[in-house]
Amino acid sequence: MAYTLKQLQEEGIPRLLTGIQTIKEWEAKRNDILERWLNVIGPVPNPGQPKIEFQSIVREPDHFRIHLTYESANHDWVPANLLIPDDGGTELTPVNVEAELFTKKTKKRPAVLALHPTSNEGKDDVTLASGRVNRTYGLELVKRGYIVLAPDTITAGERVQPNEEPFHTASFYEKYPEWSAVGKMLVDHMYGVSLLERLASVHKIGAIGHSLGGYNAYFLAGIDKRVKAVVTSCGFAVFAGDPERERWGRRSWFSHIPKVSDFLAKEEVPFEFNEIAALVAPTPFFLWMGQKDRIFPHWEPAAQAVADIDKLYTILDVEHQFKALIGNEGHDFPSEIRQSAYTFLDEKLNPEN
């Protein structure tokens, strides 16, 4: 199924729950949405247990920062920062780090995959004190007692290819012409979830991100049900009313899903993002968006989509698992919103729950 741009202009977003009255009917539609999504973004194979190589360990005042790489699909290695709260019990060293992380029985903790926004620094933007204002959610969460894994996405941080600018995907598509950057990022993040599962002290796993990291987070939670809670900041937008729909297709820099451009050439889109966000249900889902967002300025149709998702959670009898906030802010993740998001994660990922 595809939607015409004329249809979106005249009718707004396609209603998610038209003709849906039972959970069984929703499951059938969900399967259809997932199949269409995977056909557009390309293969997302089930992840195996990733190999891990530890690069360095830094002890900060209240946590350890472990620089590592983990193997993803097609023998691609993903650089990441792993943050471990320091409870004063053990000094992590290159000699004991594997035993301490993978076999030692310690206090159970929640873990999160902290997915970075569009930042040349990648993982460092969300895990180091040098990160930008309102972006260091990985660092803030480890201080809150979370284990945090922050990987570099393709084209960012340590994954910028030689002779290529950050967030340029040309070399990726030369190697994988039938795939998509979105599919690749999802696979890498799923291997990251597998890494967190191996840690002996991890209880439940969540995902959090802003902007690029925001939609990566809910894309991931829609496909990988090992993610038990997700936070999306300024990462949810829809095709309806979008002044820049080609942002999702082929571009001269970061091309998310090339097949989208093939549909747009026919004045169509292959899906609407309320459908993709609906794949998250019934997983706990915190969504924040700003009415003054310069990147995604078309907040009104997105708000209609949010209402659709809320109705879905109500039909599934898990209304309390969805929380959406819309405010008069820009493309930002303000402190008060982050605190609300962290409280949400605390409630959903706490080892006592």
pLDDT in tens, 84-138: 999 877 789 999 999 999 988 778 999 999 999 999 999 999 999 999 999 999 9
Could you list the residue range(s) of the whole structural domain that residue 238 is in?
A: 3-349
Angle at 209 between CA 260 and CA 79, to 5 degrees: 90
Q: How far apart, in whole angstroms, are the C-alpha atoms of residue 287 and residue 297?
A: 16
Residues 6+ apart with CB under 8 A from 10: none
The torsion region of residue 9 among left (phi > 0), alpha (psi -120 to 50) and beta comes to alpha
Identify which of 234, 240, 310, 311 has the alpha carbon closest to the alpha carbon of residue 272: 240
- State both tokens at 81: 């920062």
- The residue type found at 84 is I
What's the domain count of the chain?
1
- Are 267 and 6 a contacting pair, CB within 8 Å? yes
The tens digit of pLDDT for each residue in 132-158 reads 999 999 999 999 999 999 999 999 999
Domain CATH number, residue 106: 3.40.50.1820
Beta bridge partners of 147: 111
Q: What is the pTM of this model?
A: 0.96
The pLDDT value given to residue 152: 98
The residue-averaged pLDDT of 268-273 equals 97
> Is the torsion defined by CA of 174, 77, 147, 205 positive or negative?
positive
With a pLDDT cut of 70, the percent of the chain lying above it is 99
pLDDT bracket for residue 353 (50, 70, 90)? low
Cα–Cα distances in Å, from 159 out to 94, 121, 156, 162, 166? 24, 10, 5, 9, 8
